[in-house]
Structure 1
């Protein structure tokens, strides 16, 4: 969003139009809304701002629920914002540590600050982008004097009076819509600056889940977070925010229920064994945290291959840290033979999963020419040097 659009939107007329907009869920809805508002005589800047915000509010429900209907967004800010239930869990760390005033440096549109303020914490929020800081101030206005939002950089922020800091370094190029990922050395603030601060002040820092593990300081707690099957982020906790004895954690949120696995270090893997009656796919947060071995032991399972994150067992056990499949049979991996086998079994609806093999599931699905009323999951993987196709059912 450009500053001119934001200025047009933050007027009584602009906010009235926005609040009166029906859900904008498709390109067709956008075109209809633009045509209607232009016919009513509204300026191009105002129409662009109102329709754009209505579209973002519709998308924002996935992260912020009904609260999105009173928020403002930029496209990039919404994409990068923490989901509100996750932000609330992060905020609870600061509350439970006994802190009362927290700095949110790199606050974006204010998602994490919302979680902090909702738990009664006072927040000093800062963002380097002027429009984004203004949007954060709008979104956080209901909390009154408990939240102060400023336009500025993390490095220049006066930290006196703050008990702890939440950091979300800018890991993408600047902008409000199309942005690209940057290298760690180009982040703002830099990782070196963040880690230096973490040695002096209790800090929680949100990073991408694929961060090179060699960059993680030995003294912090590293917590990988997933929700709905997607690994969303890595949070590093320092000082009083890090739990005693915990250096690796996998937080898995499924159907609004959170489950967590913690350890003092990477877990040792279980030995490889033959394919059993069940196959288990560890959650991405568990894989990133390298806690697969702990999950395997809880399931009485072993590794299917030492280099691939699939587990197998004969015990009818599962857990929130894996997706479990009951093995039907091993089928030929050759495409023609596989297609024939699936047709013979009447499999017309097929979930295709793969790990350790170079396969495009969409292309494979077309080549299989599925037909029939049955459904199943096809797991394509490698066991040793052998390409393997496993037909299974989700448990």
Structure 2
């Protein structure tokens, strides 16, 4: 029996190559290290994504704190030069108005800034149809009033807010914790090394016969730390990450609830960055004493720890400290600038779920942001 293909006037009129793809319109705020990597990753991948997913990624706006480049048909490889020539001062309202006037659908706001003021615009973007993707962790660590207000807006407007990179750069951490929590799994503790820069510093300091100032300079030169390494050494960034995880478990903690060990000597905390660099050797004696007093076969790790009765909204205890751990433990075996997260649950008992990998780097973080964009694109 043969099969006959019958020509149809309707089928004849369809060009399968020209079926309209879903267009995702993206506004990216912040084009420093992470933002620049992200824009270039999207541009270089968009043809392949269009072929595999039937999705057309269109970056219609790129902005920093001063200027914006808006192009309705999307930016190209020369976007940075174009922005220098054609970028103009702007308001958030202008970007929103442009999207409305040009009837842009499937809108995503991407925040790669570290700007506390900019996150106040999130509810306005949501009200105007934008989903949110952010590597900026500030919105998730402000007061609980703002935190809940934003989530109410997201629910009412049926928008998504993804921020996987807030804690583990490109690691699938927040998603894992969300799924465990929503499935009813009782998470009893989360502990780990949350900072790639501090991971490198203490992995190296513990293993090598070098002064702390030498290791710190090495981390600075490799680009592992913030331009002012005190932003890493004060522990506040690790504290914010721990707070984000606590709130994923519906705990009602504020930043002030976290006990954080500041690694910067008091008389170096408020001097200029230049003076701090000149006085780095003042860190050597206190850290050398700590190393000398450490027990055998132990290493230093800067550890964040969420514990207590996590079944109660106010039962969480949040601590960030420099601790000494056995070299043969999971935390002690950490290498390079990797991060590690141990998730203890009632079902798994004393055997935690372990997520480990690259915890720092602009390209890694940008790839994680890109992943969040694609997840929204698939659902929108």
Structure with higher helix content? 2
State if a TM-score over 0.5 links the two structures.
Answer: no
With normalisation by structure 1, the TM-score equals: 0.30
